[in-house]
Every structure is written in structure tokens, then in C-alpha cells.
Amino acid sequence: MQIHYLDGSRLRRSLLAACDYALQQRDELNRINVFPVPDGDTGTNLALTVRAIADKVKPSRARAVSEVAREAADAAVMGSRGNCGMMLSHFLLGFAKGVSGCGRVNTTEFCRAFGMGARGLREALDKPVEGTILTLIHDTAVAATRCGAKDFVPLLEYLVEEARNSLERTPELLPVLKTAGVVDAGAKGFLSLLEGVLGLVSGALPISVETVGDAKAVAYPAARIEYPVDQEQFRFCTEALIRGDSLPTQTGVRRRLRDTGDSLIVIRSDHMLKIHIHTDDPEAVFDYLRSLGDLVTHKAEDMRAQYRAIQRAAEGHIQLARRPVSVVTDSAADLPEEIVRAHGIHVVPLLLIDGDQTYRDGVDITTEEFHRKLEDDSELPTTSQPTQADFTETYARAAEEGEAVLAVLAASTLSGTFAAGEAVASGFHGTDIHMADSLGASVLQGLLVLKACELAELGWQPEDIVGEITRVRRQSGILFTVLTLKRLLASGRVGLGQALLARLLGIKPVLEVNKQGRVAAVGKAMGVTRVRSELMKLVDERIPEGTEHMRFGIFHVGIPEIVKPITEELRGRYGDGVEVISAPATPVIATHLGTGAWGVAYLVEDR
């Protein structure tokens, strides 16, 4: 088999093969992860990053290699997790720059772009450390310059061989690797990407470097390494994504954050910044980033809590878990994709039933597709809770990543989803599953899920998270309005008398999901403009005076133009720094509310 050029289609297939093989290495990469902190998360972080790449390029029909490369790079930035994910993103951005404008490339042009990716990565790091993924990418790029192959198959064979040699040398460059008897996990992860491509083009089964030294002595290498408090002085692995039209340069952001922590990586791509840093004061970092633009996602994981989880796993002779608690929700939560990816949330899809066709919400039909369907169709699908198989599969994925699983699901009073999830959880073996009834839906449920993730990342026990979610829900809520009560009437969530009166008088209702999880009418106004004022007044009335810690969510059905003015109004009332998430309503929510519906959720976190 001879391959003399790489176009968009071939690059897409190569990326999918690379991502698929890297995903298979997750557990092994977690097991050998000891640097910079023995927190056992490199495999999971790489898996989340490459899954984002695969999800982006798989449906793409771009033909030019430059387009596919750019799609992969952008997806990597959006979905990147941890040091390895951020470094892979930097490399892909440089590679995409190297093939910019190209419909196809030959081996020489490919090697030149690979070198640009390697140089871009090294230049972007504040404190480069040898013996890591950085070294392996550099060594592979150097090898690419001297290969001279005109065919991609021998080129890939040579690059994989050189990458393996580089990986074997990592313990000599990083003493902690030699002590633990392992190679660098991030470097091995990048090698697995190359091996996946080689497997695609040659059919050869990759033979990877596993460990060095006595394999029996390194069954749980991370647990055998003392937490390096003398080197890793900071506690929280902190990441954030910021969007804005006037963002500073990578260099400027690095200079500003350099003294607040270490393991600092900054990515600047178009109107977006991605930050990774280990720090003791995540909120100070987030406050600075809010001053730059819209803080889309942010998280802070307690690395010492992760390390304790690894020790418990080793003592129990069980598979290493990346984190103490893994969070599950359902698609009614209306969480933006960026937040789902940033926190590694597992989402089980609700179902839409349209005649003989069943769609998984957000999987088989996208939000945008369904919103268009709302405008075109008079007959809309009915909805149903997830299947037992979907719950089981989602719980199983979550259990692979956490010691315990916490499911924050749509209100038991509004849907059969909670009962279905609880039934599957009661018979699930291998991991404890804890249930939290959101008594809500849409962005209210989403905000509670986000809160659960943040507490889990700080090392809270699942029982305590359920208690805190329950407490916060009692003082939080969601208000919304619809253009017509037709869909709510069809679903039985409002009465016929209410619907007829509203239609006759042109009244626009304000509804809420109350503290008992029921839909209730709480206000009304004549016309769209007045109902907006009424809804915002009711939000204000429900937030206690003097509240210091709150956040908001906005959802809409087919009217994205509502998001900006409502966001500005909320920040005008509660401060520029108040957090506001927004998302179009997922199909299962949209089918009950209809086009033109929108609402605001508020989360009051004060004690």
C-alpha cells in the first residue's frame, strides 16, 4: 500500500483511528501517571480531549487537509483537559497553521507542519520540562526532518519507531519516572495517537512500551510515589475557557498569571483563551479572567483528593479511579457543550418519539435541527425517559472514572427519568450510585449539576454533595414564559381554562417550577415586552436581599437574540462578575414549550 498525499478525507480517517486507539489506553495512562503530580488522571484527560476531536471531525465533510486540521485543533482547544490535553492542543494548532491553505500535502509538507506544531508547543510553555510529551513530540519532529520518505507508510513506521525510542528515554530525563518504574504518561499518550494512525494504514498491531523495571513492583506506581509537596506547592488543577473580542496575547496572560501558580499553559485561538494552571487560589485566577471577557467554563480540582483516591484504589487492589466522584445527568439539563466537556459530565439522553421513529435527545437530533422542526411541523414528537440500557451504559462509563457516581436528574415530579435512573442504580454493581432529585429542569437542573461537579472536584463525599444540592435547590428556582400554552396544555402541565383565557386575552404567562418541582403560574402580562419585565421583576423578588453568592442560567427555544439583553440586565442588577450560563433548550424541553419560549434560572448559594 502506497500513500503519497494526505487530503482532508485521509486526515479525518487518520485522526479518528488515532483517537480511537488513544481512548483504549486510558486506564494504562492513568495507572502510570506520576508527573507532575501522581493524581492518576492523564489517561482520562487525554481521553476527554481526543473524544472532543473525534466528535468534531467525524461528521465533517471538509475535503481540504487545512480545513480538517483546523477543525481538529479548534475541537482540541475546546475539549482539552490537563497538561497533556493542553499540550496536544498547542501542537495541533501549530500543525494546522503549517497546512493552512492546503488542499492536500505530501510527506515533506506534512513533516514541515509537524515541526511547526512541535515548535509552537515549546514556545508556548512557560517552564518546559524534558522527559514529557514535549520531549517526545520534539524528538519525533526532528526525526521527521531526516526521514526523506516520499510515502506516508514508511514515514509513519519511522516516526513511530523514533517516538518509542524517545518514550523509553523519558525515565532518564525525569527521575520520578525512574523511581516509579514507568515512562511518562503524557508522552505515551501522544505515541498512542501515532500508533493508531500506523495501525490504520499498515494493519500492524502496535507494540507499546509499558513499564521499565519490575512490572510487579509498579502495579500502582502513582500510589507508591509520595505526593511531591516540596515541588508541587499548589493544590488545585485549575482550567478555564474565556471568549472575547479584545483578548490579550498568550504572552501577556502568562506574564500576569506566572506568579499565581505553576504548570501554566495558555492557548490563544481567535476569540478564545484556554488556561491551565496549578494554584492555591482559583478564584483569584477566575476573577482576573472575568476581566478579560466571558468566562465560559472554569473548574478547580483538588489534586490531593485525587491522590488519596489513588491510594485507596491501590490498597483495595482495584482499578485506579481518576476522581472520587463522577457526575451523571440527563439531557433535560440544557448544559452547554463546553461545560459538559470541561467537567467530564456524563449525559444520558431522553427520548423523542415521532411516529415509528425514536430519537435520542441531542444525539440523533441536534438542538438546532429540532428548533427548525418546531417551526415547520404542527405534529411534534412526544417525550420519554431514557431507556434502561442508556442508563446502564452511562453509569458504566461514569463508574470507570470515579469511585462513586452521583446522578443529578430532572425532577421526579415532571418526568419518569428520576424513577428510571433510580431503578437502574439500585441494581447496578461495582460502584455506588447516589441520586439527587433536581426538582427542576433545563438550566436550573444544569446549574445544580455544575454545582455538584465543582464540589466533587474539591473532594466532597457524594452524600455531602447530595445534601448541599438539596439545600441550594430549596432557595433557587426557574421562571419562564411561552408564546403559547399549546404545548404545555398537550403535555398536561397546564389546565385547559388557563390556556383558553391566555389565548383569548393575548396574555403571556410567567411560569415557574416551584420548590416542590411543579409547574405553576406566577404572573402574566400583555405582550412580549411587558412579560419580559414581569419575569425579571419576579426573579429579583425571589433573590433575598444581601445575597452574595448566586449565578444564573438562561435558556430559549429558537430565539438566541434574547440571551444578550437578559445577560446584560442580570449583570446590571447583580454585578458584572456574576456568572451567567446560557443554552438553547434541548429538544425534550423545546417540544413541551414551543418556539419563542425563554426563561431564567437562579441559583442562590449563600448559607
User: How do residues 403-435 score in pLDDT, each as one tens digit?
Assistant: 899 999 999 999 999 999 999 999 998 789 999
At residue 500, the pLDDT reads 45
Name the band, by pLDDT with cuts 50, 70 and 90, for residue 562. Answer: very high
Q: Cα angle vertex 65, ends 63, 71, to 5°?
A: 90
| pLDDT value for 460 | 94
Q: How confident is the model at residue 210 (pLDDT cuts 50, 70, 90)?
A: very low
Please state which CATH number belongs to domain 6-211: 1.25.40.340
Whole-prediction pTM: 0.86
Pairwise pLDDT comparison (309 vs 402), residue with the higher score: 402
Of the candidate ranges 22-36, 160-174, 478-492, the one whose mean pLDDT is the lowest: 478-492
- Enter the DSSP assignment of 227: P
State which fold the 477-604 domain adopts.
Hypothetical Protein Tm841; Chain: A;domain 3 (3.30.1180)
Q: Going by C-beta distance under 8 Å and a sequence separation of 6 or more, which residues neighbour residue 23?
A: 47, 50, 51
- Class of domain 321-474 as given by CATH: alpha beta
300 vs 35, residue with greater confidence: 300
* pLDDT of 370 strictly over 60: yes
Compute the mean pLDDT over every residue in the chain, rounded to the nearest whole number: 88
What percentage of the chain has pLDDT greater than the value 70?
89
Please state, in angstroms and as integers, the Cα–Cα distance from residue 466 to each residue in 112, 121, 244, 341, 478, following that order: 52, 41, 35, 22, 20
Neighbours of 35 (CB within 10 A): 26
pLDDT at 324: 85
Range with the poorest average pLDDT among 68-77, 109-118, 119-128:
119-128
Residues of the chain with CATH 3.40.50.10170: 321-474
Q: What mean pLDDT do residues 502-510 have?
A: 64
Amino acid 499: pLDDT:
46
Residue 506 has pLDDT above 70, yes or no: no
Asked if residue 333 lies in contact with residue 415, where contact means CB atoms within 8 angstroms, the answer is: no
pLDDT of residue 490: 53
pLDDT, greater one: 381 or 386: 386
Maximal C-alpha separation, the chain? 81
Half-sphere exposure for 518 (CA within 13 Å, toward CB): 6
- What pLDDT, on a 0 to 100 scale, did the predictor assign at position 496? 46
How crowded is the C-beta side of 390, counted as CA atoms within 13 Å? Answer: 21
Quote the CA–CA distance of 370 and 393 in Å, as a whole number.
25
Q: What is the DSSP-derived secondary structure letter of residue 149?
A: -
Rounded distance between C-alpha atoms, residue 178 and residue 176, angstroms: 5
Confidence of residue 39 (pLDDT cuts 50, 70, 90): confident
Residue intervals of the chain classified under CATH 1.25.40.340 are 6-211
List Cβ neighbours of 139 (8 Å cut-off, separation of 6 or more). Answer: 162, 163, 165, 166
Question: What's the rounded Cα separation, in Å, for the pair 57 and 69?
Answer: 9
Q: What number is the average pLDDT over the span 30-52? A: 87
Rounded-to-integer distance, Cα 429 and Cα 67, Å: 44
Model pLDDT, residue 527: 80
pLDDT at 41 over 90: no
Is 361 a residue whose pLDDT tops 60? yes
Residue 315 banded pLDDT, cuts 50, 70, 90: low
pLDDT number for residue 414: 92
Which residues belong to CATH 3.30.1180.10 in the chain?
Answer: 477-604
224 pLDDT more than 70: no
Least confident of 391-400, 470-479, 500-509: 500-509
